[in-house]
Amino acid sequence: MVPPLYFIVLGAVVFLIATLGFLTRRSLIQALMCLELMTSAVVLTFLAVGRTMPDGGLQGMALATFLIVIGAAEVGMGLAIVMLYFRRHGDATTDDIDLLRG
């Protein structure tokens, strides 16, 4: 069996790569793609930690199920907002969206 530490470190590394992308990419679509990658990395961590528990990973699997569902809902909403913004302004980059800037 592969030690859970490997999965956890991989999850952290992918999460950090996705964070870097989320902070640097200017397109909202790519920001959402990074969010999706982050969700998968967190699910991997949940499953890896859950697998070491005495219940055979049941708790981790249940939490991961909810996490995937929430992730799907979040991306769906985010893309709807991107579409709406694009239709109104013709582009959707994080540089343009500064309506709330003080």
Partner 1 sequence: MTGLVVFFAVAGVIVASSVAMLVSRDFVRSVLFLLLALCSFSALYALLDATFLALLQLFLPAGAVTVVLVFVVMLTRPKVADYRTLLQRQTLYAAAAVVAVSAPLLDALMRMVATLPTTVTPAASTRDLAIALMGPYAAPFELASVVLLAALVGAIYLAREAE
| Residue 1 in tokens | 């069996």
Least distance between partner 1 and beta carbon 102 (Å): 19
96 binds partner 1 (CB under 8 A): no
Site string for partner 1, 6-45 (x = CB under 8 A): xxxxx-xxx-xxxxxx-xxxxx-xx-xxx-xx-xxx-xx-
Nearer to partner 1, 90 or 102 (CB): 90
Q: Closest Cα to residue 37, out of 20, 66, 14, 9?
A: 14
- Give the phi and the psi of residue 27 in degrees, each rounded to 5: -85, 135
Min separation Cβ 88 and partner 1, Å: 9
Site residues (CB under 8 A) for partner 1, limited to 43-72: 43-44, 47-49, 51-58, 60-62, 64-66, 68-72
Q: What are the residues whose beta carbons fall under 8 Å from the beta carbon of 22, sequence distance 6 or more?
A: 31, 34, 35, 38
